[in-house]
């Protein structure tokens, strides 16, 4: 049963959304730094190393796109646990 008033639910979704954006941004920056490091040493990479470097190019976009979505889903489950 949900006892949270409407304004509280809206405020919580806002906070969780911005937490998702913040965490996704930080993780994206870390992924980009690691990717730049891998690309600097591209000639030394073989096999799996090159796959990880290519995945690192895609990872920041995925994190930025889905980080806020996951946190919004979590907020929805916390505020509206009935469904």
The C-alpha atoms of residue 31 and residue 77 are separated, in whole angstroms, by: 29
Residue 23 CB neighbour total at 10 angstroms: 15
Contacts of 72 (CB under 8 A, 6+ apart): 13, 16, 17, 20
pLDDT tens column, 35-54: 777 777 777 767 777 777 77
Q: What is the pLDDT of residues 55-69, one digit of tens each?
A: 777 777 777 777 777
pTM, rounded to two decimals? 0.49
The HSE-up count of residue 52 (CA atoms within 13 Å, CB side) is: 13
């Amino acid at each position: 049963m949900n006892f949270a008033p409407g304004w509280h639910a809206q405020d919580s979704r806002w906070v969780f959304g911005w937490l998702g954006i913040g965490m996704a941004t930080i993780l994206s920056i870390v992924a980009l730094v690691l990717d730049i490091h891998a690309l600097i040493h591209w000639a030394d990479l073989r096999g799996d190393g090159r796959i990880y470097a290519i995945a690192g190019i895609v990872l920041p976009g995925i994190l930025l796109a889905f980080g806020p979505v996951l946190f919004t889903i979590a907020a929805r489950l916390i505020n509206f646990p009935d469904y």
